[in-house]
Chain A
Amino acid sequence: MAMLHTVNKSPYQCNTLESCLNHTQEGDVVLLIEDGVYAAAKGGRAADALAAAKGVKICALSADVKARGLDGRIIDGVEIVDYAGFVDLVTETDKTQAWL
């Protein structure tokens, strides 16, 4: 029973990512989309929290990474997926929760 969580806010603006990570279970996937991708930028305070998330797979949407000039600046361990990969994550998990 794995769940996909989407996070679309910058962790420097609000606690959405923190709240999401507080409610994930082992085997879940967190997909960073829109401003959510800033969480995975190298050198940022939020990237440490992401790297510390255990048992959860972290992904980031490539269109949003590239649009923001973050290509090549994403920390190791975060998988970059395109929209087709987003669709796969939705269908491979049991349900999706958007952390709006």
Chain B
Amino acid sequence: MKLGIVVLEGPYQHEAADTAYNFAVAALEKGHEVFRVFFYHDGVNNATRLMVPPQDDRHIQQRWSELAEKHNLDLVVCVAAAQRRGILDEDEQGRHGKDANNIAPGFRISGLGQLIEAGIQCDRLVFFGD
């Protein structure tokens, strides 16, 4: 089955970021297609490659990036929510004249239409938030 996942909360702050990841792993292990993971609200903070968690803890960004590489996942960060919170890719950095970008490998920044499209394309859309 084709599944869409929506993540609305930030890493380390709210368990939703963990629940969504564990759900995605289980869905892939069961042979389902994860059509897209859409990061919105504070969920966009999962996409910063600058996070440095303690070594004995999980690395929330890295495990998403690794999962994306292994399964060719489409990890989409909402552009409007990302701009508000300082999550930028190279294009956005240039457009807004900032001195750095921070998007992690495997993530891409795009519009809210990607969420609606996931709702249209997927057999199920599952939300994780506060």
Contacts and interface: CB of A to CB of B under 8 A. Distances in A.
Interface of A: 6, 8, 33-35, 61, 63-64, 82-84, 86-88, 90-91, 95-96, 98, 100
Nearest to B1: A91
Contact of B124 (A64, A83, A91): A91
A82 B125 CA distance: 19
Contacts of B130: 8, 100
Interface size class of B (residues with CB under 8 A): 20 to 34
B25 A98 contact: no
A88 B23 CA distance: 11
B71 to A, nearest CB: 14
A100 B30 CA distance: 26
Nearest to B128: A98
A12 B114 CA distance: 36
Nearest to B21: A83
